[in-house]
Amino acid sequence: MNTPLLSAKDLTVQFRTPKGPITAVNGIDLTLERGEVLGIIGESGSGKSVTMRALLRILPEAKTEIAGDLKLDGKDVLSLKGHDLAAYRGGDVSMVFQEPATALDPVFTIGTQISETVRRHRKVSRKDAQARALEMLELVRIPSPASRLGNYPHEMSGGMRQRAMIALALAAGPKLLLADEPTTALDATVQIQVILLLRELQREMGMATIFVTHDVGVAAEISDRIAVMYAGRIVETGTAAEVLKNPKHPYTQGLLSSTVQGAVPGTPIKAIPGMPPDLAQMPPGCAFAPRCPLATSACQAAVPDLRAQGGERRVACVRLEEIA
């Protein structure tokens, strides 16, 4: 009864590249209850998108190796094949892409793109699928939805396109929604509207959601829990309030004070010095040690475990007790 909706154990994603293998996601554990919202934050290149794409099994199969254990609602996701895999994608789990302008097919109408998704996952007539598409456009509050069904993506504004993309992602009633920086491509005012819409829909429909963002304010607004990623690993996780108000990992601290919201008023915003490591040549110990102001030789000895800190909180830092 108490099994979580999603559970990932030791999930690892490796890309075969001409320059050798790259480990973009390095043994992460994730659990998500039904209806729960997890925010993932982290610098560019930390593996957030790769994690999301691995969860949906849409990474290019020929050059990708996914290892570990991934279960959604009891389904063994990594062993899915053929029709079961197609039914899983978009049916059990669906994704809102970062750039609706490129993720929507430019030469099909919005109505067709939503209704073909519905028909893919439900045995309904063409007419019922169109009706469902209309219902979805109403749900995401697109004005004059009936006429918008016949629009092509280029006939819509950016915010409207992203609403259509959300309608599409929710059309088959997924249990888990993956939103990978869904507002990065939008204007600031439109961003807020789309975030508020997503939060409302999430509460109404109750699907679990994983939300990737660069924006700490957005993460705080929308997430129940937060996971902080660095170089393919989760370095800190906990409830949104715990992690954002009282970050314990030096990387999380750096990340928060490098944003407008996290900085101490009156002091300049500090960027974390240095660059994330090359994923093809990871340092032996803590991947953040080379950039960490608090690093000692102990940090370079071994990759630190995520250690429980009471409640939901887990942090991967060997010096946690000394620096806290």
Partner 1 sequence: MLGYILKRLLYAVPVTLAVSIICFSLVQLAPGDPLTVVLPADASQEIVDQTRARYGLDKPLPTQYLLWLSNVLQGDLGTSIASGRSVSSEIGHAIGYTLSVAVLACLLALVAGLALGLVAGYTMGSPMDKIASATAISGVSVPHYWLGIVLVVFFSVKLGWFPAMGAGRSGQSLGDALSFMILPVLTMAAMPAGIITRSVRALVAEKLGQEFVTALRAKGMTSPHIFAHVVKNAAPTALAVIGVQMGYLMAGSILVETVFAWPGTGLLLNNAILTRDIPLLQGTILVLALIFVALNLIVDILQPLFDPRIQRA
Ligand X SMILES: Nc1ncnc2c1ncn2[C@@H]1O[C@H](COP(=O)(O)OP(=O)(O)OP(=O)(O)O)[C@@H](O)[C@H]1O
Q: Which residues contact 244 (CB under 8 A, 6 or more apart)?
A: 216, 219, 220, 226, 256, 262
Q: Which residues contact 14 (CB under 8 A, 6 or more apart)?
A: 21, 22, 23, 24, 64, 65, 66, 67
Residue from the set 4, 152, 239, 309 that interacts with partner 1 by CB under 8 A: 152
Q: Does the footprint of partner 1 cover residue 89 (CB under 8 A)? A: yes
Helix (H) / strand (E) element for 149: namely none
Name the pairing type of β-strands 233-239 and 307-308: unpaired
Give the one entry of Mg ion, ligand X, partner 1, none that residue 290 binds, where binding means its C-beta sits below a cut-off of 5 to 8 angstroms depending on kind.
Answer: none
Sign of CA dihedral 41, 43, 44, 45: negative
Least Cβ distance, residue 182 to Mg ion (angstroms): 11
Which tokens belong to 207?
């699907």
The one segment of 49-57, 79-87, 255-263, 285-293 that binds Mg ion by CB under 5 A: 49-57
Q: Measuring CA to CA, how many Å separate 121 from each of 11, 75, 105, 129, 254?
A: 27, 17, 19, 10, 44
Per-residue binder mask for partner 1 (CB under 8 A), 174-193, x = binder: --------------------
Residue from the set 172, 195, 255, 256 that interacts with partner 1 by CB under 8 A: 172
Q: Does the footprint of Mg ion cover residue 23 (CB under 5 A)? A: no
Count of residues touching ligand X (by CB under 6 A)? 14
Which tokens belong to 248?
């314990």
Q: Does the footprint of Mg ion cover residue 49 (CB under 5 A)? A: yes
Give the one entry of partner 1, ligand X, Mg ion, none that residue 105 binds, where binding means its C-beta sits below a cut-off of 5 to 8 angstroms depending on kind.
Answer: partner 1
Helix (H) / strand (E) element for 177: namely strand 176-180
CB under 8 A, 24+ apart: contacts of 303-311? 303/233, 306/29, 306/234, 306/235, 306/237, 309/238, 309/248, 311/238, 311/239, 311/242
Nearest CB to ligand X, comparing residues 50 and 292: 50
Per-residue binder mask for partner 1 (CB under 8 A), 286-315, x = binder: ------------------------------
Alpha helix ranges (H) inside the chain = 48-55, 82-88, 100-103, 110-121, 126-139, 145-148, 158-170, 188-205, 216-222, 240-245, 250-257, 297-301, 320-323
What residues between 50 and 69 interact with ligand X by CB under 6 A? Answer: 50, 60
What residues between 264 and 283 interact with ligand X by CB under 6 A? Answer: 279
Residue from the set 4, 7, 12, 22 that interacts with ligand X by CB under 6 A: 22
The one segment of 42-50, 137-145, 217-225, 296-304 that binds ligand X by CB under 6 A: 42-50
End-to-end CA distance of the chain: 38
Residue from the set 4, 22, 58, 298 that interacts with partner 1 by CB under 8 A: 58
Q: Measuring CA to CA, how many Å separate 21 from each of 15, 61, 66, 70?
A: 6, 14, 12, 22
Nearest CB to ligand X, comparing residues 280 and 301: 280
Residue from the set 33, 99, 135, 138 that interacts with partner 1 by CB under 8 A: 99
The one segment of 47-55, 116-124, 133-141, 154-162 that binds ligand X by CB under 6 A: 47-55
Residues in contact with ligand X by CB under 6 A are 15, 17, 22, 24, 42, 44-50, 60, 279
Residues in contact with partner 1 by CB under 8 A are 56, 58, 83, 86-91, 94-95, 97, 99, 102-108, 116-117, 120-121, 152, 154, 168-169, 172
Residues in contact with Mg ion by CB under 5 A are 49
